[in-house]
Amino acid sequence: MVIVMKKEAGEGLVSKVLAKVESLGLTAHLSRGKIRTIVGVVGDNSAVEPDSFACLDGVERVVPLLGPFKLASRDFKKENTVFSIDGSQIGDKKIIVMAGPCAVEDKNQVIEAALAVKKAGAVALRGGAFKPRTSPYSFQGLGEEGLKLLAMARDMAGLAVVTEVTTPEQVPLVAQYADVLQVGARNMQNFGLLHAVGESHKPVLLKRGLSSTLEEFLNAAEYILSHNNPRVILCERGIRTFETYTRNTLDINAIPALKLLSHLPVIVDPSHGTGKRELVSAVSKAAIAAGADGLMIEVHPNPENARSDGAQSLRPEEFEQLMKELRPVAEAVGRTL
Amino acid sequence: MVIVMKKEAGEGLVSKVLAKVESLGLTAHLSRGKIRTIVGVVGDNSAVEPDSFACLDGVERVVPLLGPFKLASRDFKKENTVFSIDGSQIGDKKIIVMAGPCAVEDKNQVIEAALAVKKAGAVALRGGAFKPRTSPYSFQGLGEEGLKLLAMARDMAGLAVVTEVTTPEQVPLVAQYADVLQVGARNMQNFGLLHAVGESHKPVLLKRGLSSTLEEFLNAAEYILSHNNPRVILCERGIRTFETYTRNTLDINAIPALKLLSHLPVIVDPSHGTGKRELVSAVSKAAIAAGADGLMIEVHPNPENARSDGAQSLRPEEFEQLMKELRPVAEAVGRTL
Amino acid sequence: MVIVMKKEAGEGLVSKVLAKVESLGLTAHLSRGKIRTIVGVVGDNSAVEPDSFACLDGVERVVPLLGPFKLASRDFKKENTVFSIDGSQIGDKKIIVMAGPCAVEDKNQVIEAALAVKKAGAVALRGGAFKPRTSPYSFQGLGEEGLKLLAMARDMAGLAVVTEVTTPEQVPLVAQYADVLQVGARNMQNFGLLHAVGESHKPVLLKRGLSSTLEEFLNAAEYILSHNNPRVILCERGIRTFETYTRNTLDINAIPALKLLSHLPVIVDPSHGTGKRELVSAVSKAAIAAGADGLMIEVHPNPENARSDGAQSLRPEEFEQLMKELRPVAEAVGRTL
Amino acid sequence: MVIVMKKEAGEGLVSKVLAKVESLGLTAHLSRGKIRTIVGVVGDNSAVEPDSFACLDGVERVVPLLGPFKLASRDFKKENTVFSIDGSQIGDKKIIVMAGPCAVEDKNQVIEAALAVKKAGAVALRGGAFKPRTSPYSFQGLGEEGLKLLAMARDMAGLAVVTEVTTPEQVPLVAQYADVLQVGARNMQNFGLLHAVGESHKPVLLKRGLSSTLEEFLNAAEYILSHNNPRVILCERGIRTFETYTRNTLDINAIPALKLLSHLPVIVDPSHGTGKRELVSAVSKAAIAAGADGLMIEVHPNPENARSDGAQSLRPEEFEQLMKELRPVAEAVGRTL
């Protein structure tokens, strides 16, 4: 942490800052300039709030240095985290594709989707049984009935199941049926939920919040990791910006940035990241080229009748075509698919 | 809802759209132009997703007309909603000020803060016992012990207590001690929590999400209202933008906009909205002048030692001075304080 | 400037940084911690780019301390800058209101608007003769003919004229007719234009760019000030955010923040800041309460037929009513209007 | 255009809207619902401002349908625009790489950079002689001397020259030396400059503004095209968002979106789009995979001593490596490099 004093801050105020640094068991290094004084704070200050100093008189600003996340950081663990999802390794050379409908709607829809995405090369089926929706009047998902349909489709198609969990109480139930627990973007800082999935010891797919910085994203992962659940997948799914042509702005920079900052696997959701079916293919290729470890893509056998997200869902034949086109891109960056 | 067809969309595609409109029990009005066709959809379409049409072939875009919120809207209820918080009416002529520390830290701090804010004219004490924090290593609040301290301070000072609830399971516990349940910005779309506070029948202070539109904000209120809990207070607390000089950008436009769109009381949190103690006074005055029904302000007897948010907390004497300066502003817009 | 070294950066890399600091005539203070080294750079580094250090091997990040603006800063000049616009002092106790149509359209419109705003208490007439427009097919303004109409209206109504200049070449022409040269939001970083208005020695009203930080805004003012033109008015007119209900998000925090950082007068444009006529009154009051030195408001005798910005323009009687309501607010914060 | 009337708007207000539609030579189609009335406006309304209707009483909102841009649109011209830059075709199968330093600093730097980028496979040299800088105290470029150095390097290395023009008056001078005129992000809506480069009949590289929507970007291109200059290259260079880890957020969605909306060639600047050298390689690959027609990359023989943008500039050997890695990616999407 670096504490920058105001120009007019005199000796007395600097001394108070130094006293506080010491009271926290840290060490201060002073740089006195003609114009102002800078205090470098050294020691393990990851649990100290920059704000504790920002409020002292005479302090102009405090610059935090260590992101508070530790377990999630590349500093903590140099090699990539690789783990298995129902037999497929994520974080390794092979790119993992998860696909399926936004929401589980009925038996035929799930089975049809599952068989189609399996055939095209996906290793996991996505589909929501509990849906967080902006309006209380929108379709909220089939609940446990939806989980059962997912489990059935898994057995028929030989796919892992990834599905969303929206409250701490749901975790044990969803964990019975799912191979991967998904925490949605709106819940990225629902800390009660992060604790609950951390304790479940199931792999967790954590989506980046709509307006979360990379640092906040990694801190959210840290909540899960700190419960001794090391199997976290980071998912970039677009952030909220001023642009309205697309539903979100997919932050392609986040892929190499997260790979630099963290050892965790990183996947991309181009369906939510664009919100438009006609952009999904190009952005999927971009994600692979940028180094993503996987993709999560919405596929619906009949998007015209989808109960949610139809406009961004691929038809099975479009998904199959996309998978074909992704293979050479994966190979071009030394990966397989 | 207005459905705009693509330029090249032929009769067949238009017919499919019309068929879908009818299948949902709605009525379509066609406008055929030389360049393109527009379909106006009339009827109660509040439960129909625009997306159901956006994914049809030939559709260029769908423009939703009715915000899906109903109970929260000014259309539904013309007069302002006014209700009592421990004897003080909110939403009425008198402006309500809630003040206190970010987090409850210990007995002395809470009592000192409570007595100071009461003396200066606040009617409610704010203070967090359960704190949602970006990092798992930050202070997470005192929990039930903090609630007890708040209740004690309430009794000593004669103030209502407003405190945050972060998971559905906490609601019954917090409701035992608090007069108003606060839902924080990060939880604005934690729908499980919205259901739980909706069922509690305590007044709810709902903070706007960091990147939530006004429409999403009112939809979140709708979740609470739809559980027959009509006592919701909307709180503008700043949104996330590109500006980094301030912690957030307080959206002053939101005050008159929410007053137009909704009948619910609107308050402002200038402490989080600015993140800087030296801006709180000016922005508090602005909020009152713009028509806010109340303010929520962080006050700490000793901000230098605050465990969180010290940089944006007023000292008791600063708060007292602010309250004095707010009175003429309130009167200038026909209110009292 | 504070240079933070990477954890793994060894002595050799630190030495290179120190050598570069010295080569620039600055002084370095080292803080060596167990985890990493911090280099405080002291001296007049306002012309040194942080980037010169950010690209050195071993450097993690560089934190700039002094905003590069000097002449615009409150450090440089403690007391408020006050100057006259055609006889009215701006930056002083009295709040200055500038009002008039978005664009000059014809003789009757300008005269009608001028007489109406004068009667209600405005001291300056605003109106565009050269209009920067998103589309080349939109009305681009009447040009010099518009300037002549403004000058005529000024003489009839006894108002100063504020009008926009969009290219360096226009400056001499516009300066013949205008009392204040306006630089629009899209041109805030049109540096050729900033140089030209700096050399004109006319007062300049500088609008904040749609996505400009306060630091960039003050740097743009610095361009003008550095040409020995000290008469710059800063105008907050809303920034671009994710919210679409309003045209822009008026940054109310910017008012006290600019007042802290700079000695220059600050005004607010609630018409562009909201984009909606029904929000202008509330936000105007908020701006005064927050400490603005003036307002710039769009008023059109007949908004229904305005060639631009009709939706955000007040009718003359609405403006008159607003002026009445603003007076007590101004008085409540120790100002007059 | 679709005009949505307020719920309470009666017949009289609807009639006024219809009269205005007719007075503009357009045709109205009415949809009267139980709740509200919708007016579809048909005809060539590209020169009519939505705002002309938004300000009428009884109008709730106006939804524009046709982007006002025409010449830039894919509707206007189905096939891709392809043109030559000093012998290399842009917009065709081959991907064009432009590379070089941010600013021209001296003879050795330019020559060294030019030879290195040529050797690695670039077809154009980028380098700024006129630099728009946030602060008036930053290095502003060498001016005409810089242009001469670029011309010399072009002759030595056999590269086209791309360089920025910042004011209308500079256009003739810069056009003498450059093969492509660059309009920077801060000048995307400097309409005087857009007119001037439109009249120059040189190819123009137009960078997207920091907070410009795709629609505004294409409208800016329309200004140039409407001067009979059809050779415009669109350059995505990152937008401004809340994320601070990267300098900008590269909008990867923009590449397929611009390709859908327009026939113009699209290139990507990963150097400004990320601001960090270590992210440039991954994002360059992503851009190619997403369908970009070219890249513009900052390369400096000695980034440690660069006068600007050193942190995001590649070293020659890094650029050479990147070019090698880009080739298989280009081939994977059916392109060459």
pLDDT band at A286 (very low <50, low <70, confident <90, very high): very high
Per residue in C212-221, pLDDT tens?
999 999 999 9
When pLDDT is averaged across residues D83-103 and rounded to a whole number, the result is 96
For residue C238, give how far its alpha carbon lies from the nearest alpha carbon of chain B (Å).
10
Q: Does C334 touch chain B (CB under 8 A)?
A: no
- Is residue A332 within 8 angstroms of chain D, CB to CB? yes
pLDDT in tens, D195-210: 999 999 899 999 999 9
Domain that holds residue C58: 2-63
Does the pLDDT at position A27 exceed 70?
A: yes
**A52 pLDDT higher than 80:** no
Same domain, residue pair A164 and A92: yes
Closest partner residue to B137 among A68, A132, A313, by Cβ? A68
Task: Report pLDDT digits (tens) over C278-328.
Answer: 999 999 999 999 999 999 999 999 888 888 778 899 999 999 999 999 999
Residue in the structure block whose two tokens are 């740089």: A31
| pLDDT per residue as tens digits for the range A93-127 | 999 999 999 999 999 999 999 999 999 999 999 99
Tokens of A273: 């990241």
Q: Which region among A152-156, B12-16, D167-171 has the lowest average model confidence (pLDDT)?
A: B12-16
Q: Which two tokens stand for residue A53?
A: 């100093």
Nearest-angstrom CA–CA distance, B237 and B240: 10
Q: Would you tell me which residues 60-99 of chain C have a C-beta closer than 8 angstroms to some C-beta of chain A?
A: 60, 63, 65-66, 75
pLDDT at A273 over 80: yes
List subunits contacting chain B, requiring 3 or more Cβ pairs under 8 Å.
A, C, D
C134 near D CB under 8 A: yes
Question: What number is the average pLDDT over the span D65-75?
Answer: 80
Give the residue from chain B lying closest to D74, CA to CA: B7
List chain D residues with CB under 8 Å of B244.
244
Among all chains, which residue has been given the structure tokens 């994600």? A287
* Shared domain check, B103 and B48: no
For B265, B337, C107, C157, C159, the CA distances from B256, given in Å and listed in that order, are 11, 19, 35, 33, 31
Model pLDDT, residue A138: 81
- 3-class DSSP assignment, residue B80: coil
Give chain D positions within 8 Å (CB) of A287: 286
Q: Are residues B181 and B32 in the same domain?
A: no
pLDDT at residue number B34: 65
How far apart, in whole angstroms, are the C-alpha atoms of residue A31 and residue B42? Answer: 69
Q: What is the pLDDT of residue B7?
A: 77
Q: For residue C68, is it within any domain?
A: no
| All residues at 6 or more sequence positions from D27 whose CB lies less than 8 Å from its CB, including other chains | B33, D21, D41, D42, D43
Q: pLDDT higher for A175 or B305?
A: A175
C260 interfacial to chain B (CB closer than 8 Å): yes
- Assess whether pLDDT exceeds 90 at residue D133: no
Neighbour subunits, C (≥3 Cβ pairs < 8 A): A, B, D
Q: How far is D13 from chain A (nearest CA, A)?
A: 31
Judge if B173 and B214 occupy the same domain. yes
| Residue B17 shares a structural domain with residue B113 | no
- To the nearest whole number, what is the mean pLDDT of chain A? 92
Q: What pLDDT is recorded for position C45?
A: 59
Q: How far is the C-alpha of D183 from the C-alpha of B115, rounded, in Å?
A: 61
pTM of the predicted structure, to 2 decimals: 0.92
Q: How confident is the model at residue A55 (pLDDT cuts 50, 70, 90)?
A: confident
Q: What is the CATH number of the domain that holds B18?
A: 3.30.70.1140
Interchain CB distance below 8 Å, D34 and B40? no
Task: Assess C274–D contact: CB distance below 8 Å, yes or no.
Answer: no
C1, C38, C61, C240: best mutation site toward chain A, by most A Cβ within 10 Å? C38
Q: Is the pLDDT of residue C175 over 60?
A: yes
> Do D210 and D326 fall within a single domain?
yes
Contact yes or no for A31 and C43 at CB 8 A: no
Phi, psi for B181 (deg, rounded to 5): -90, 125
The answer, for A243 touching chain D at a CB cutoff of 8 Å, is yes
| Helix pair B277-289, B316-332: axis angle to 10 deg | 20
| Residue C2 at interface with chain A, using a CB cutoff of 8 Å | yes
B69 part of a folded domain: no
Kindly state the tokens that stand for D130. 């006129």
pLDDT of residue D289: 98
Residue C286's pLDDT is what?
98
Of D242, D246, D285, the CB nearest to A257: D246
Q: Name the minimum distance, in Å, from the CA of A314 to any CA of chain B.
A: 10
Confidence of residue D66 (pLDDT cuts 50, 70, 90): low
Judge if C113 and C226 occupy the same domain: yes
| Short-list A275, C48, C170, CA closest to D139 | C48
Q: Which of A51-65, A162-176, C132-146, D119-133 has the lowest mean pLDDT?
A: A51-65
Both A322 and A219 in one domain: the answer is: yes
pLDDT of residue C8: 78
From A39-43, B76-80, B222-226, C86-90, the region with the lowest mean pLDDT? A39-43
Indicate whether C4 pLDDT > 90: no
Which CATH number does the domain housing residue C194 bear?
3.20.20.70
- Distance, CA of C318 to CA of C276 (rounded, Å): 13
Residue C66 has pLDDT above 60, yes or no: no
pLDDT score for D67: 63
Q: What is the pLDDT of residue B46?
A: 59
Select from D13, D61, D135, D225 the residue whose CB has the most chain C CBs within 10 Å, as the one to mutate to test that interface.
Answer: D135
Q: Is A135 left (phi over 0), alpha (psi -120 to 50) or beta?
A: beta
Instruction: Judge if A35 and A156 occupy the same domain.
Output: no
User: What is the model's pLDDT at position B98?
Assistant: 98
Residue A2 CA: distances (Å) to CA of A31, A38, A53, A57 = 11, 7, 10, 16
C56 & C92 share domain? no
| A70 occurs within a structural domain | no
Please tell me the distance in Å from B255's CA to the nearest CA on chain C: 8
Strands A27-32 and A294-298, by their bridges, are unpaired
Structural domain contains residue D251 = yes
Question: With an 8 Å Cβ cutoff, is A236 touching chain D?
Answer: no
How many distinct structural domains can be found in chain B? 2
Q: Confirm or reject contact between C136 and chain D (CB < 8 A).
A: yes
How far apart are the CA of B90 and the nearest CA of chain C, in angstroms?
A: 20
Average pLDDT of the residues in A253-273: 97
Asked whether the beta carbons of A312 and A99 are under 8 A apart, the reply is no
C64 pLDDT exceeds 90? no
Q: Find chain C residues with C-beta within 8 A of B282's C-beta.
A: 255-256, 259, 289-291
Q: How many CB atoms lie within 10 A of CB D129?
A: 27
Q: What is the pLDDT of residues C8-53, one digit of tens each?
A: 788 888 888 888 888 888 888 777 766 678 887 776 655 667 777 8
Q: Are residues C137 and C24 in the same domain?
A: no
C4 contacts in chain A (CB < 8 Å): 2, 63, 65
Please check whether residue A106 lies inside any domain of the structure: yes
* Model confidence at D97: pLDDT above 70: yes
Q: Measure the CA–CA gap between A260 and C236, rounded to whole angstroms.
A: 38
- In D, minimum Cα distance to C218 occurs at D135
Contact between A282 and D255 using a beta-carbon 8 Å cutoff: yes
- Please indicate, yes or no, whether residues A120 and A252 belong to a single structural domain of this protein: yes
Q: Is the pLDDT of residue D44 over 70?
A: no
Check residue B202 and give its pLDDT.
Answer: 97
| Matching residue, tokens 């930050």 | B138
Q: Is residue C74 part of a domain?
A: no
Asked if C57's CB is within 8 angstroms of D304's CB, the reply is yes
pLDDT tens, residue order, chain B (337 aa): 788 888 778 888 888 888 888 888 888 877 776 667 888 777 665 567 777 787 788 888 787 765 678 899 998 899 999 999 999 999 999 999 999 999 999 999 999 999 999 999 999 999 999 988 888 888 889 999 999 999 999 999 999 999 999 999 999 999 999 999 999 999 999 999 999 999 998 999 999 999 999 999 999 999 999 999 999 999 999 999 999 999 999 999 999 999 999 999 999 999 999 999 999 999 999 999 999 999 999 999 988 888 877 889 999 999 999 999 999 999 999 999 9
Does position D288 have pLDDT exceeding 60, yes or no?
Answer: yes
Put simply, whether D304 touches C (Cβ < 8 Å) is yes
Which residues of chain C lie closer than 8 angstroms to D51, CB-CB?
Answer: 306, 308-311
Cβ(C234)–Cβ(C208) below 8 Å: yes
For residue A287, tell me if it sits in a domain: yes
Q: What is the mean pLDDT of the segment spanning D149-159? A: 96
Nearest-Cα distance to chain D for B241, in Å, is: 5
Residue B337 forms part of a structural domain: no
- Which residues, including other chains, have CB under 8 Å from residue D268's CB and lie 6 or more apart? D235, D236, D237, D250, D255, D283, D284, D287, D292, D294, D295, D296
